[in-house]
Chain A
Amino acid sequence: MNIAIASVGGQGGLTLSRVLAVAAVLDGYSVRTGETLGMAQRFGSVVSYVRVGRRVLSPVFAEGEADFLLGLEVIEAARALGLLKPGGLAVISDVLRPPVSASLRREPYDKAKLLKHIGSRARLLVVPARELAARAGNPRAANMVVLGAFSRQQRVLTEGSLRRAISEVIDPRWLESSLRALELGMEYCEKFSDPRGAETPGGRESEAVNH
């Protein structure tokens, strides 16, 4: 299973990638993530690669090789769309944060248009992640909402491991709201009906472990 995570630096993309990696190890898989860290990435484009399988080696993968794209911001999700394989699933937080370069050009960004664009090339699950995170008591936990929604679309990582991974990675002060955000993401996903939903979550398990 290959997962690409697209975010704006500071939104919690790296935390999300780490939670996935810890959960994968707890579930007995081999894992690799590839990321670039450092304050240098604050408010810049950040892409994390996560690979889970029986024996994975490379920390990154090529264009068109991600089974899932997790987007914490719509423009960054659109930028990373090429990583997703045809028919892959994009789970996107509906937050739109145009960069300074766009504002300087007076370029307006239409969230609906960008999401439609992503939807034309991928199966799309849009999550009101910020709103749900705020409801969980921590607007910064939108990454955990996206994780919750994603978790119900795959069968590789178990819910128990994801919860334990969150409790290992997240600062105890934010643990309760993060777990609540995860749950709200899961609940939201259950209401989501994909037109091709029947084939969404299953079938990936055997493929994943062979990667």
Chain B
Amino acid sequence: MRNFLKAPEGERLALMGNEAIARGLLEAGVSVVTGYPGTPSSEVIMTLHELGAASGIYVEWSVNERVAFEIAYGAAIGGARAAVTMKAPGASVALDPLVSSAYSGVEGGLMVLVADDPGPHTTQTEQDDRWLGFLAKLPVLSPSSPQEAKDLTVASLELSEEVKLPVILRTTTRVNHAVGDVVLGPLRAPKRATSFRKDIPRFVRAGMAWNLERHRWLNRQLGTVEEAFERVSAVRNTVEGSGRACVVTEGTAYNYVAEAVRELGVDARVVKLTLLFPPPRKFLSEALEGCERVLVVEELDPYVETIVRSLLSELGRNVPIYGKTASGIPMEGELKTGTVREAIASVLLEGSATGRPTTAEPLQDVRVPPRPPPMCPACPHRNTYVALLMGIARAGYRRDDVPIFGDIGCYALGAQPPLEAIWTEHSMGASISMAMGLKVAGYDKPVVAVIGDSTFFHAGVQPLIEAAHKRVDVLVVIADNAVVAMTGHQSTPAWSELESGRKARPVPIESVVKAIGVERVEVVDPYDFDRAVEAFERLLREPGVRVLISRHPCALVEARTRGVRRRYMIVEDRCTGCLACVRVTGCPALYFDGSKVRIAEEDCLGCGLCARFCPYKAIEVVAGG
């Protein structure tokens, strides 16, 4: 299926935005692509992995986003074309080197894909990374469709090389994960590092006079971006229509605007921005010439609105601007097509109602129960949590006495009922440091941090150094399922062979933990449930930093590679419908049919945790199953 990576120019295919970006990277001739998995950005590298190591392109996950950025940046200062991918919070992780890179610049092109998530669908905040342009002083481009995502990937690399600055391609979920028809462009041979010229004032940020001079250089470069963008990019800032009522928009929102204007038959001028930073002042001042009112339609913050207000005010044009406060377009959540239609109707048509008939009457007679994503059937993290909660009880504490600091990954789904195990989930690696903070502030009961294996490598090592060094009493549980599970099963530094086929040297978690100086390190298989409960109980009573590595492969990976080993069934005349199994495990393969519990055969992966908690022995292994 993935022949689109090698398909010739001119073919028209249905591609997901991230696949289109992957293709665009090959059309731009990149030789290094790094990143850290994060929805909705992950499929770019996952797609490129299918090229294999023989492609001559280095495509690998890095331990975290800042390392990923620095690897790609190191390639680009040597003249290679490179790219790095991350979700929004990853951009914050990479922010330190990102900001410095604007001062030193690049020789080869460098694209930084930052995938934001208005909604939010799968992200802890609705961080709006369009502001990165103003903060890091780097050009920002924004595509509105998979086709534009591909074409702007190529343009990002061209522009980057032209102005010698890394270029941020800022996308949103509705571009990354949208599928659209995409026409392919020509492929280009990878551009590798040719030379790295020693230039101390340029690349050493230790000289303050150099830094001041580079800041001046940076501002001069930014002054050339709009013109360079117009020259190299196939996707431009555009104006459609010629009315005196203007709608300024960008990204996904452009689609909603264009369709609403078409459907409403409004005589409007639609101004679409593709270059978001530096603000395309020349283009905007021409595009808004003669406008009598301006509606700004954008997701999240009033970013474009701020630019438009500032520009029109500077130009002395006194035009009413309808932005976030006046248009009814919210600052939170992703835009809905209906909201955009109403805003356009109310601002440009002055209030004529355009509500469409819908069938969306409240469901009076039928309650539709919520279905938040749970932990998967047979998830080893479920066993870890249940064992931890039982260990807390056996160590003589109430469940509400012992805060469990969670971290980012599948295991955060343990916050859902019935487990409701974790008390916090904040940012990568924060479980250990936040638990430490509560402890040093005087909390007198035990504190627990639960962190996944990949999250530990990403941002948990330094907090563990901190806790060990300061001799804090904290139980750190490393929930190790040997994969970055939540984002689609990517590799971790513990792997010996990577997705690309590259051989790697595995970094064992216990070696890292011991090297830090943690003396109390144990490994338990949470499927060995009684042992796990015993270990939690014992370690909760001990002082100092204790690390329990709760290790079992992700159940989905294990089922795929080894098959399902056991089948379970409900013995109907024993099941009383007491729901103990559901209440303890919250397993989505179990459901209540009104009188008894049933097992969804094709979902059950045979871990047997539910059977252990059935007081009536009504859940049994299927003989020969």
Contacts and interface: CB of A to CB of B under 8 A. Distances in A.
Interface string A8-27: 11100000011001101100
A191 interface: no
Nearest to B335: A60
A122 interface: yes
Given A40-B486, A99-B371, A106-B592, A168 B259 contact: no
Contacts of B442: none
Interface residues of B, number: 75
B256 A36 contact: no
Interface in B484-512: 485-489
Interface in A89-124: 97-110, 113-114, 117, 121-122
Given A39-B485, A39-B488, A25 B13 contact: yes
Contacts of A39: 410, 485-489, 556
B431 interface: no
B145 interface: yes
Contacts of A106: 579, 592
Interface stretch (A62-70, A152-160, A179-187, A195-203): A62-70
Given A57-B259, A86-B357, A97-B600, A37 B374 contact: no
Interface in B147-186: 173-174, 177-181
B622 interface: no
B238 to A, nearest CB: 13
B369 A107 contact: yes
Interface stretch (B202-210, B280-288, B358-366, B421-429): B358-366
B126 to A, nearest CB: 14
Contact of B145 (A24, A57, A113): A57
A42 interface: yes
A137 interface: no
B171 to A, nearest CB: 12
Interface in B418-471: 418
Nearest to B594: A108
B179 A33 contact: yes
B483 to A, nearest CB: 10
B336 A104 contact: no
Contacts of B181: 24-25, 29-31
A22 B373 contact: no
A79 B369 CA distance: 9
Interface residues of A, number: 68
B359 A31 contact: no
A79 B145 CA distance: 28
Contacts of A113: 365-366
A84 interface: yes
Contacts of A75: 368-369, 371
B372 A44 contact: yes
Interface in B334-375: 336-338, 341, 356-361, 363, 365-374
A78 interface: yes
Interface in B115-149: 119, 121-122, 144-145
Given A82-B358, A106-B592, A37 B40 contact: yes
Nearest to B178: A59
B588 interface: yes
A37 B592 contact: no
B550 interface: no
A194 interface: no
Contact of A102 (B416, B487, B592): B592
Interface in A122-179: 122, 139-140, 168-169
A70 to B, nearest CB: 16
Contacts of A105: 369
Contacts of B583: 104
A85 B359 contact: yes
Contacts of B321: none
B590 to A, nearest CB: 7
A161 B583 CA distance: 47
A43 interface: yes
Given A25-B181, A39-B487, A44-B374, A101 B369 contact: yes
Nearest to B377: A43
A163 to B, nearest CB: 15
Given A59-B178, A62-B338, A100-B590, 6 more contacts: A37-B39, A39-B487, A42-B373, A60-B337, A100-B586, A121-B361
16 contacts: A18-B14, A21-B14, A31-B14, A32-B179, A32-B180, A36-B173, A37-B43, A37-B177, A44-B374, A59-B174, A60-B337, A65-B337, A79-B368, A86-B358, A99-B371, A103-B597
Interface of A: 8-10, 17-18, 21-22, 24-25, 29-45, 57-65, 75-76, 78-79, 81-82, 84-86, 88, 97-110, 113-114, 117, 121-122, 139-140, 168-169
Interface of B: 1, 12-14, 39-40, 42-43, 119, 121-122, 144-145, 173-174, 177-181, 252, 254-256, 258-259, 336-338, 341, 356-361, 363, 365-374, 376-377, 410, 416-418, 485-489, 556, 579, 582-583, 586-588, 590-595, 597, 600, 602-603
